[in-house]
Structure 1
Amino acid sequence: MPNSWITNKAAGEKWLVGFMARNKELSLRQPEATSIARAAAFTRRNVSSFFNSLEEVYKCTNVDGSRIFNLDESGFTTVQELPKVISPRGQKQVGQQTSRERGELVTCCAIVNAVGNKLPPVLNCPRKRYNETFMNRAPEGSLGLTNTLTGSAWMTSDLFIRVVQHIIKHARPIMEAPMVLVMDNHASHCGYTVLKMCRDNDIHIVTLPHTSNKTQPLDRTVFVFQNVHTATTPDQEQPSTSGAGGASDQQPSTSGAGGASNQQPSMSGAGGASDQQPSMSFAGGALD
């Protein structure tokens, strides 16, 4: 053992470089922040208990994949992350135009069923007063919400009542064709009024344990495209067909500026809906 290891009580930088060179299967990555409570809850017992409850609901309702819906919320910023650009050496300031310097968080509540079809999303905007312009270019049928008390984009029990009404309006659950709704057990989702409304309208709720980062289907299959979609500019997604700026390796889009993209499914409502339907066949499936 080198003396520097004993003195510093740590390996040196050269050893780390050599170790990474010898183990090509390893890479340096930024970890995702995970609370201790969430990590401790991801146990075989908790996950098995959830799937046992889900199986019991399947047997009682006898529904197919088109009546099994998964609900989840995710935040989207109104100002997208800018990509890196090439600039002359020595230039101190490099700018690129955006709508604002700092964006605001808009909460998107997505509802997708097990065969890949989706209901119009619910968008919770960080405002106290609602304005119809908030929903410009959103998918048809989307519901816009605002918190009249605080003006934040966080979901509350009162707002979630309107989300359930939105689900009933579009999914139309009845006794002969009930609906199974899988979602996390956040306090705003489990209010008395929400549970009574679901019971009266043939909606069977199955809540996930505090392990949604591992067991939430939308987190694992749909919202993972959020970072890919929002980290690129419209010019990168849809190359111009005018030929200015040289030829592109990608196929040019003929939908025009601001049209829908066929590559990245997005639930944010900005830029139109995607033509691809994300797969949500999670019932009884294996988890990563």
Structure 2
Amino acid sequence: MSTNYKRKNNRQSWTAQQLEQAIKAVKSGSPVKTAARSYAIPRSTLIRHLTSPTVSTWLGPLDSVFNSQQEEELVQHLLDLEKGWLEKLGNFLKRNPKLSFRKPPATCAARARGFNTPAVSAFYDLLEEALKDHKLTPDRVLNVDETSVPPKKSKVAALKGKKQVGGITSAERGETATAVMCMSATGQHLPPFFIFLRIRMHEALKKGASRGSKFACNASGYMTVEIFNEWFDHFLEHVKPSEDSPALLIIDGHSSHTKNLAFTEKARANFVKVLVLPPHTSNKLQPLDVSFIAPFKTYYAQEVERFLQQNPGKVVSQYNVAELMKPAFIKAATTEIAENGFEKTGIWPFDRNIFSDDDSATVTDQPDPEILSEEETSIAS
């Protein structure tokens, strides 16, 4: 929405024409003070421009490098260069049909800086050490991640060129909740752990949930230290790590995980080794992000669409989330999806060369200091 900007001072309320007239008046013998008052030009401004070879209305401490004529010539020169370059480029592409202009995928600068060779190498060093030292088998290598379950819209089949395509508004499609997912390299999926945006828990929220699911709620609807500790009890209940059968849990660097002394101590006491992903690398190094989250959200969106079609006039509330998520979770929580996620990240089977140099960022050759910090990359043991 456009706004009408209002000036906060009266600087340069005069025009270039007024300035030129004042300069001419002084050069014709009029006192500077008189000319400044007559043409409403600040005296200091008039004095400064009397010694300048050009008349400028530029605000600020820097003068323009080019005058108006030079700027016009430069613009025209650049346009001529562009025209010639485009003609040459067009001919080049015709001679080389294998090449084309492609839109690069959206990657934020933080992710680009995070996924660099030193940070990724340090992660694989720690992973290799953990796998060898503790003789871990794939069923004891697990990854946990939280994901929101907003009512993502599915695509709608419609006639080509049609401008208006029916859909369900976000209000009808439901409220956002957070689901904590965890899977192993052999395809074991822990029952979901739900976090609802509300103060008090209600039994009706559990209706239709997958067997073994756990629930929590808070004022934000997102993961906190306290809730992550509750989830870790859920993890211990299903994985049952022991001295003879320890487990490796791969987590991201969320503060509820890494700045959580109670979790670290409980993990050590229960034979769980914790490996933290380097910051901003979860899109490539986190198995759940790589293979599970996208199909899960797609299946959930389909369940929401089906519910709304079968229940005209109703909306998806918090009390429907667990029930709608159950079939989506069953479809996404497959052995194949889990194995693909761990394989594509090089975690299992272990492959530190899964990514080429071209996959690493070119914006930096050095990791951010926090990436290789003791807290972020150490294995709790």
TM over 0.5: yes
Does 2:334 align with 1:276?
Answer: yes
Query: Which residue identity lines up with residue 330 of structure 2 in the other structure?
Result: A
Structure-1 separation of matches of 2:117 and 2:102: 29
Match of 1:144 in 2: 215
SS at match of 2:112: helix
Structure 1 stretch 47-56 or stretch 267-276: which is displaced more? 267-276
Match of 2:140 in 1: 67
Structure-2 separation of matches of 1:133 and 1:49: 46
Does 2:112 align with 1:39?
Answer: yes
Larger Rg over CA atoms: 2
Question: How many residue pairs are counted as aligned between the two chains?
Answer: 251
Structure-2 separation of matches of 1:19 and 1:268: 52
The alignment's C-alpha RMSD in Å is 3.7
**How has the CA–CA distance of structure 1 residues 213 and 26 changed in structure 2, closer, same or farther, with 3 Å as cutoff?**
farther
Alignment of 1:118-157 (within 5 A): 118-147=189-218, 151-157=219-225
**How has the CA–CA distance of structure 1 residues 201 and 32 changed in structure 2, closer, same or farther, with 3 Å as cutoff?**
same
Of 127, 137, 153, the residue aligned with 1:81 is 153
Structure 1 stretch 18-27 or stretch 187-196: which is displaced more? 18-27
Structure-2 separation of matches of 1:14 and 1:145: 62
How far did residue 14 of structure 1 move? 10
Q: Does the CA-based 8 Å contact 1:70-1:113 persist in structure 2?
A: yes
Match of 1:57 in 2: 130
**How has the CA–CA distance of structure 1 residues 15 and 276 changed in structure 2, closer, same or farther, with 3 Å as cutoff?**
farther
TM-score (norm 1): 0.72
Query: Which residue identity lines up with residue 199 of structure 2 in the other structure?
Result: K
**Is there any run of 5+ residues in structure 2 with no aligned partner, and where?**
1-74, 307-323, 356-381
Higher helix content, 1 or 2: 2
Structure-2 separation of matches of 1:4 and 1:57: 63
Q: Does the CA-based 8 Å contact 1:138-1:271 persist in structure 2?
A: no
Residue by residue over 1:216-273, the C-alpha shift from the partner in whole angstroms, topping out at 9 and shown as x without a partner, is 121112123245435546789xxxxxxxxxxxxxxxxxxxxxxxxxxxxxx9545451
TM-score (norm 2): 0.56
SS at match of 1:74: strand
Residue by residue over 1:140-182, the C-alpha shift from the partner in whole angstroms, topping out at 9 and shown as x without a partner, is 11111211xxx22221111100011000111111111111111
SS at match of 1:273: helix
Structure 1 stretch 125-134 or stretch 224-233: which is displaced more? 224-233
Q: Does the CA-based 8 Å contact 1:130-1:145 persist in structure 2?
A: yes
**How has the CA–CA distance of structure 1 residues 97 and 43 changed in structure 2, closer, same or farther, with 3 Å as cutoff?**
closer
Q: Does the CA-based 8 Å contact 2:154-2:298 persist in structure 1?
A: no
**How has the CA–CA distance of structure 1 residues 206 and 88 changed in structure 2, closer, same or farther, with 3 Å as cutoff?**
closer
Structure-1 separation of matches of 2:77 and 2:149: 45
**How has the CA–CA distance of structure 1 residues 272 and 48 changed in structure 2, closer, same or farther, with 3 Å as cutoff?**
closer
Match of 2:171 in 1: 100
Match of 2:293 in 1: 223
Match of 1:204 in 2: 273
SS at match of 2:149: strand
